[in-house]
Structure 1
Amino acid sequence: MPVSVSGRLASDAAPAAEDEIAAYVSAFGAPEVVEVLLPDTSGVLRGKWIPGPAMGKIWSDGVAIPLSIFGLDVWGCEVEATEIHLETGDKDGLCWPVPGTLRPVPWSPRPTAQVLLTMHEPDGTARGKPWLLDPRQQLAAIVDRFAARGLFPCVAFELEFYLLKGDAAPGAMPEPVFPITGQARQNMYSMSDLDAFAGVLHDMRSACSLQGLPADTVISEAAPGQFEVNLYHRVDALGAADDAILLRRLIDGVARRHGLRATFMAKPLVDFAGNGMHVHVSLMDQAGDNLFARPSGEGDRALRHAAAGLLSTMADATLFFVPSFNGYRRLVPGSYAPTSITWGFDNRSVAVRVPNGPPKARRLEHRIAGAEAHPHLVLAAILAGMLEGLEAGIEPPAPLVGNGYENEAPSLSPSMAEAVARFSSSPFIAKAFGEEYRRVYGVMKAEELAAFSRVILPLEYDTYL
């Protein structure tokens, strides 16, 4: 596939708004409501409902949303330490539609459309300048660095989730929906489990088709009621991350229509596997050929440098991959989630895996992120790490053979506290994302950690009361 534009332009070179709106109305009819969606720093969707007849204004005028939306914690509360709220007058940003994301919402009871937004900061021009506290703009900037080198990331996300009973009280222990046998047991790649949930899973696939999301394989995962949906590779890093955000919303929406609840929580059940978000990345050149497949050792050398960059920056970037207090419960030995900074060939116990396959499909699979992580930030950190390795020509340690849980490699951060400290002092993060982004994200996660530290667990009462 020839690639001739920069990464930012590949996603953001918009057709005329009238064309996109006309194509939507022709295919699906006029919507009563348009849901404008802006993923915040935690990947939580914020936004508004716009009346269908006024949808043209979304493209012509933009949508005003406070710049400080990227200073909200995971609960949606202002984090004053970010200093981007009332200290700045809480000014509005200007949000513009992401081209190609105007899509129907088939799980809505009324004719509804949705469109993804990205934030700009007003600067006296018509559209404003990219607001770099928006994770999508951070990813766009890193993709542009690859484009300047004549390289274009080819990306695919894999997303794991559980289906739970939908009638649980808020804050209650989640109760999984067990398949046909009713037994709580591991049943990897089970066809009977797929059959048991065929109704909701087929509706998810149909919704993906209607929305143009490039869904590929659906499998029953390592635990009862756990599934994985894979997205096809795209030579469009921004579009691939957009798809991952929208796929989570789709899975949640369809599950609710079936009276179920989908969760992407990294470790919802103590005795079963957690939910991961694996990311596959290769690099294409201007001719559409895979850099990692070049002959005469050039491809192998580039693959090693990219892997080495991921390993050398992994500890600093862990807070992007595992942004939640709960997420560190997933990183335990024997869980198929990595616990050490390792790489290897066709080895699912390492952090960075080189899957088997033909040379033209050679790629790196990054296996650390939890399913609740922000796809744009996860991918931005992965690409920034790969670029670090390629630019510096770093060589990795020998690829690990055998059980990745039994090695002497450095461990991943075992706790959110350590990840916050490492992130907040990282020169790599400041270089790749800017000192201001490092500061804002770091203080937000430090305050989330403090909130969890103030909670007394039921086990403490059972033990000490």
Structure 2
Amino acid sequence: MGRIEIGPAAGDALDAIETGEVERFLEAHPETEAVEFLVTESNGVLRGKWAPAATIAKAFADGINFPFSMYGLDVWGREVMETGLHVTTGDRDGYCRAVPGSLRPVPWAARPTAQVLLTMHADTGEAFLGDPRHALVRVVERMKAAGYTPCCAVELEFYLLDPKAPPMADGMPAPVYRATAGPTPQNMYAMSDLSDFSSFFSDIWAYGKAQGLPIDTMVSEAAPGQFEVNLKHRADAVAAADDAVMLKRLVCEVARRHGLKATFMPKPFMDVAGSGLHLHVSLLDRFGHNVFADPMIGERRLGQAIAGLLETMQASTLLFVSSWNGFRRLQPGSYAPTTASWGHNNRSVGVRVPASSDAARRLEHRIAGADANPYLVTAAVLAGMLEGLERELTPPPPVVRNAYEEPVPALPASMAEAITLFERSDFVRRMLGVEYRSLIAHLKRAEAEAFAREITPLERLTYL
């Protein structure tokens, strides 16, 4: 594909040294010995390094060297040569600068440690166009230029697994409740399930507070061992995506401390519900008022935003359902949407308008799997909404009953179909740029081909 070009700076030009962020942090945490530098690549995988605390200031001022090729790795961390980011172009280094406001303590670390998010830049300070966080920044800047400030909140579902229990027949660690004797309980919204893991969730609360994460509600979900943690709305879409990235890491680390394993795999078990990432979005006008709550134009603007989401949904599916396993989650009757549909207070559709007060009027995008990259999911949702608003699109009638049985357009049913729609889409090109669209398509095609080359146990069982 050739290397991705370097584009205009993407909003992180604030010099945090001048704001005193590092000095304030170290004054509050003088015992800090180490720092974890964290980079989110296109698959949503956190990569990075550990370093002495003395290097924190360098991350804000000059940046920490990392190769651009970090963004050319598949979900397993293997080089995808077609991206043009590896040895064919010399495997060059860029400079990952700290994200202002992301310097936080790591309360679960064995020694006093800080963490900070990084984004990739060239040596001239310009943003690397293959960085998913920069992609979201650019979409948010477009929305603000149009007079809208997105207000976003993420809901994340996951399973808690017990590595010490006998594994499932396919070798997968069992969910915590399947590790018990007797029938498997399915106890949706049960307070007892939260109480059974009260020490785990207490640590989620405490560590989240220490890291400044706006954690809201926690709930026992639709399957044994499945839970959901929700984040509060923020009138900063990029910070809301940052929160989601940090929450996923926190959940996994707290589970590890409790002898458990947390998985955000979209469909770990075929017979029960999969795990999703749901994004709630409202739009604020220049005066900070919810556009969708406006008695004169709110309903029309909400309809336009939904129409844009529906029109761009099939092309964007690869960002929402970014893995082979993710397409297993999209099953009729599963509460994971299979169609480009919308409705009021209806969980079978792709875009739901939740029951709420007028002031809290918003939409909920329900398609993404829990493993999706929060930056790219948010970018695609906001860009789709803006498409509908700028073109003043009209949505189809809302689905009132079961969207799985309605004659509405279907989402791509496979990764191969999603890749084709994605890389042919002019909407995706305008949102991400030609180079980043191509990079993501190369990564996903390499992953799809890896799965296609795998012979499954069921295939062998058929003939043995």
Q: CA deviation at 1:87?
A: 2.1
Aligned letter for 1:223? A
Q: CA deviation at 1:14?
A: 5.2
Equivalence for 1:362: 361
Q: CA deviation at 1:435?
A: 1.0
| Deviations 1:29-83 (CA, angstroms, capped at 9, x unpaired) | 3311100000111111111111123322222221010112111100111100111
Q: CA deviation at 1:174?
A: 2.6
Identity of aligned residues (%): 54
8 Å Cα contact 1:308-1:394 kept in structure 2: yes
Aligned letter for 1:196? D
Partner Cα distance (1:102, 1:354) in 2: 35
8 Å Cα contact 2:162-2:179 kept in structure 1: no
Aligned letter for 2:152? V
Count the aligned residue pairs: 453
Q: CA deviation at 1:17?
A: 5.6
Partner Cα distance (1:444, 1:156) in 2: 28
1:232 aligns with 2:238: no
Secondary structure at the counterpart of residue 174 of structure 2: coil
1:58 aligns with 2:59: yes
Partner Cα distance (1:197, 1:227) in 2: 11
Equivalence for 2:275: 275
Secondary structure at the counterpart of residue 336 of structure 1: coil
Distance 1:436 1:317, change over 3 A: same
User: Quick one: which of 135, 139, 143 aligns to 1:142?
Assistant: 139
Q: CA deviation at 1:446?
A: 0.5
Partner Cα distance (1:344, 1:67) in 2: 42
Partner Cα distance (2:23, 2:179) in 1: 45
Partner Cα distance (2:24, 2:453) in 1: 52
Q: How does 1:1-16 map to 2 (within 5 A)?
A: 13=14, 15-16=16-17
Aligned letter for 1:265? M
Equivalence for 2:185: 185
| Deviations 1:237-287 (CA, angstroms, capped at 9, x unpaired) | 110000100100000001101110000000011111001000001111111
| Deviations 1:152-207 (CA, angstroms, capped at 9, x unpaired) | 10000000010001348999313111189754232110011111111111111111
Secondary structure at the counterpart of residue 408 of structure 1: coil
Secondary structure at the counterpart of residue 295 of structure 1: coil
Secondary structure at the counterpart of residue 452 of structure 1: helix
Aligned letter for 1:198? S
Equivalence for 2:455: 456
Q: How does 1:247-258 map to 2 (within 5 A)?
A: 247-258=247-258
Partner Cα distance (1:406, 1:112) in 2: 52
Equivalence for 1:3: none
Equivalence for 2:3: none
Distance 1:153 1:13, change over 3 A: farther
Partner Cα distance (2:242, 2:54) in 1: 26
8 Å Cα contact 1:12-1:98 kept in structure 2: no
Equivalence for 1:95: 96
8 Å Cα contact 2:163-2:173 kept in structure 1: no
Q: How does 1:13-92 map to 2 (within 5 A)?
A: 13=14, 15-16=16-17, 19-92=20-93
| Deviations 1:8-27 (CA, angstroms, capped at 9, x unpaired) | 65x76454367212222233
Equivalence for 1:342: 341
Equivalence for 1:214: 214
TM-score if structure 2 supplies the norm length?
0.94
8 Å Cα contact 1:265-1:372 kept in structure 2: yes
8 Å Cα contact 2:313-2:340 kept in structure 1: yes
8 Å Cα contact 1:180-1:196 kept in structure 2: no
8 Å Cα contact 1:68-1:90 kept in structure 2: yes
8 Å Cα contact 1:12-1:99 kept in structure 2: no
Q: CA deviation at 1:390?
A: 0.6
Aligned letter for 1:373? A
1:244 aligns with 2:244: yes
Distance 1:12 1:344, change over 3 A: farther
Aligned letter for 2:208? C
Partner Cα distance (1:236, 1:416) in 2: 31
Partner Cα distance (2:246, 2:359) in 1: 29
Secondary structure at the counterpart of residue 395 of structure 1: coil
Equivalence for 2:370: 371
Equivalence for 1:4: none
Distance 1:221 1:12, change over 3 A: farther
8 Å Cα contact 1:17-1:56 kept in structure 2: no
Secondary structure at the counterpart of residue 352 of structure 2: strand
Partner Cα distance (2:192, 2:96) in 1: 45
Secondary structure at the counterpart of residue 405 of structure 1: helix
Distance 1:409 1:244, change over 3 A: same
Q: How does 1:376-455 map to 2 (within 5 A)?
A: 376-455=375-454
Partner Cα distance (2:126, 2:19) in 1: 23
8 Å Cα contact 1:166-1:256 kept in structure 2: no
8 Å Cα contact 2:35-2:115 kept in structure 1: yes
Distance 1:141 1:18, change over 3 A: closer
**Which consecutive residues of structure 2, in runs of 5 or more, have no partner in the other structure?**
1-8
Aligned letter for 1:140? V
Equivalence for 2:196: 196
Partner Cα distance (1:323, 1:384) in 2: 18
Equivalence for 2:4: none
Q: CA deviation at 1:414?
A: 1.0
8 Å Cα contact 2:10-2:127 kept in structure 1: no
Secondary structure at the counterpart of residue 16 of structure 1: helix
**Which consecutive residues of structure 1, in runs of 5 or more, have no partner in the other structure?**
1-6
Equivalence for 2:292: 292
Equivalence for 1:154: 151
8 Å Cα contact 2:17-2:60 kept in structure 1: no
Secondary structure at the counterpart of residue 58 of structure 1: helix
User: Quick one: which of 159, 162, 165 aligns to 2:162?
Assistant: 165
8 Å Cα contact 2:149-2:284 kept in structure 1: yes
Partner Cα distance (1:228, 1:397) in 2: 31
